[in-house]
Amino acid sequence: MKLKNYAQGKWVEGEGDGTPLYNAINGNLIGYASSKGLDFDAMLEFGRRSGGPALRKMTFHERGRMLKALALHLYKIRDQFYPISYQTGATKADSWIDIEGGIGNLFANASLRRQFPDETYYVDGEAADLSRGGNFIGHHIMVPKEGVAIHINAFNFPIWGMLEKVAVNLLAGVPAVVKPATLTSYLTEAMFHEIIKSGILPEGAMQLICGSARTLLDHVDSQDVITFTGSATTGKMLKSNPRVIDRAVPFNMEADSLNCSVLGEDAKPGTDEFDLFIKEVRKEMTVKCGQKCTAIRRVIVPEHLIEDVQIALGKALSKTTIGDPRVEGVRMGALAGKVQVEEVRERIEALRKNASLVYGNPEVTETIGEGTEKGAFMSPVVLLQEDPFRYTEAHEIEAFGPVCTLMPYNGLDEAIELSKMGKGSLCCSIATYDDRIARDFAIGAASHHGRILVLNRECAKESTGHGSPLPLLVHGGPGRAGGGEEMGGVRGVKHYLQRCAIQGTPTTITKITNQYQVGGKYLDPGKHLFRKHFEDLVVGETIITHKRTVTEADIVNFANVSWDHFYAHTDVTALDETIFEQRVAHGYFILSAAAGLFVDAAKGPVLLNYGIEECRFTKPVYAGATIGVRLTVKEKVDQEKKDEEDIAKGIVKFLVDVYDETGETVAIATILTMVKKREQ
């Protein structure tokens, strides 16, 4: 079998024999992969001219719904990928992380659409007032880059590696070219076929290269974005490509790193935290055979507990059954290939220069399952480095397999220092039930880590674990880990957007952003805003209400109704040395009174008010003051129907500007209302 590439909207076989691909369990030939003959320049241009414009025409909400549809489709057929995944050496649990974890990334990013406007662009942050008179302001918008996201992925997660990245760029409105590691590209290709077959994505939104990337980066341009996952050495080589440098192409690197896990000084044998620590280290060594960029490589333990940890970890690892993932009871599969086995053995020998082997044998592995003697198996290996400050191999050399090194520390400062000696990691963890220890460690170590997990008995059942990157949190790390960020919720999507500062009058900036800017011109709605359906409301439309005079009785009555008897509202004798001149009206009374002024009471398109944002009380209101309200349509957010029976509606954000008889604002807030659409 020869794998196919998906280029310029067509499935294409590469020229020549290609690279042979083998089953990691029994060594049998699976097929060949080749990218020879592909026109990389034409592929990138196809993405820019076809996929890019189609995605940019869609709003964030439309792109999010597209991701959700794709996730639902792949989830329904997920079982067909497991047999293929087993050939990579993955167990069912490993495959679940790769397959369903990857699909879960699509779901998570699809849900992010609610944090973006129903627009093709994103309005970032708050407006900046650039003038005394208020007629010149600045803001920031973010629009999709007009290039292609080029994803060069590692061999360990052929599906997750693809889906966790494309979910982000597709939500941003940028097409992708996916280049999986050749070694396990047959699994990526299998899912890619189903993605294209579904017809859910627009033409050119995704392309696939199986085989060598060769000269791919020689054709990138300034609007493209490159992401790389793999070894730091390869990443540096790719990042230094002259074209990448010349065109200032963004390059996001997520490199394998020497992640660590720390046992807190309070987590002694017999505590829940000690047991959780051992369980987590064992898991990170055996899941995917330790072939994870987030796996624990350095195990940092209080000096007097080294022997206890060594014994407990050895007992835990001894229960690990290795072999064919399809055989009942197997808990650990194979490395991705025999080349990886040899590479890990070489790294173990380098680590053993000044460290001792305390568990396992890299040369001998007992396996179960027919034909496994020809597979790429390796036993878990534990080393002990008794002087980690003097001998630094464990802080410099990574064996990308089921290997870790124990090392002692005296005092939390030493633990923090040892964690930093990895020169930048994707993640680290600490097992402790002492929140003081957790705080000091997290603040002390955060500069050198992309993520820190604090593991204790209270979060253990719900914790996703040391090695699980989550789509709504940053995945990446400084230094050796590459200095990049993947995912991270909204901030992850922003990697594929171009931020641009815009300047002008509040009215002009309102028009550009489609969000009302304070000071912009008011539009006449023609009738009360609460009488208009969602589609008919226009950003900037404003009603100016009649007015109301606040009385002493209002203040007293509100105090009695609300039970808010704060002295400034009720005790005029207590106002000396305060900012108040007399008894002041409650801020929430002012807001309530404002609602009484702007609400149209009769039944209409407004279904309900369900929230308040950015509420501020800017000036004291005393008895005798007269207040009015300027109610303005600030922003509109479309809502999709949950089902056929659901009411068609959208969210309207109204700016509530409460002012007094001098015209000065005394309170300002944004209220959220659910407004019905016209009958379809």
505, burial (CB in 10 Å: exposed 0-12, middle 13-18, buried 19+): middle
CB-CB contact of 163 with 102 (8 Å): yes
Question: DSSP letter at 13?
Answer: E
Instruction: Please report how many Cα atoms fall inside a 13 Å half-sphere around the Cα of residue 625, on the Cβ side.
Output: 23
Write out the H or E segment, with its range, that includes residue 143.
strand 137-144
Question: DSSP letter at 48?
Answer: I
CB-CB contact of 447 with 479 (8 Å): no
- Going edge to edge, which strands form the sheet with 296-302? 356-359, 381-384, 403-409, 296-302, 259-263, 428-431, 452-455
CB atoms within 10 A of CB 237: 11
**How many angstroms separate the CA atoms of 335 and 322, rounded?**
11
**How many angstroms separate the CA atoms of 511 and 505, rounded?**
10
Instruction: Please report how many Cα atoms fall inside a 13 Å half-sphere around the Cα of residue 228, on the Cβ side.
Output: 26
Determine phi and psi for 255, rounding to 5 degrees.
-100, 155
β-pair partners for 252 = 227
- Assigned token pair, 121: 């662009």
Known catalytic residues are: 254, 293
DSSP 285-330: HHGGGG--TT-EEEEEEEGGGHHHHHHHHHHHHHT--BB-TTSTT-
What lies within 8 Å, CB to CB, of 647 at 6+ separation is: 607, 641, 676
Based on its alpha-carbon atoms, the radius of gyration of the chain, rounded to whole angstroms, reads 30
What lies within 8 Å, CB to CB, of 561 at 6+ separation is: none
20, burial (CB in 10 Å: exposed 0-12, middle 13-18, buried 19+): exposed
Reported residue count of the chain is 680
Tokens 């008995």 belong to which residue?
457
Which stretches within 112-159 are classed as H helix?
none
Which of these, 309, 294, 216, 247, lies nearest to 486 by C-alpha position?
Answer: 294
**How many angstroms separate the CA atoms of 65 and 641, rounded?**
12
Which of these, 544, 527, 510, 506, lies nearest to 658 by C-alpha position?
Answer: 544
Tokens 């909207």 belong to which residue?
9
- Assigned token pair, 320: 């690990």
- 3-class SS string, 492-538: HHHHHEEEEEEEECHHHHHHHHCCCCCCCCCECCCCCHHHCCHHHCC
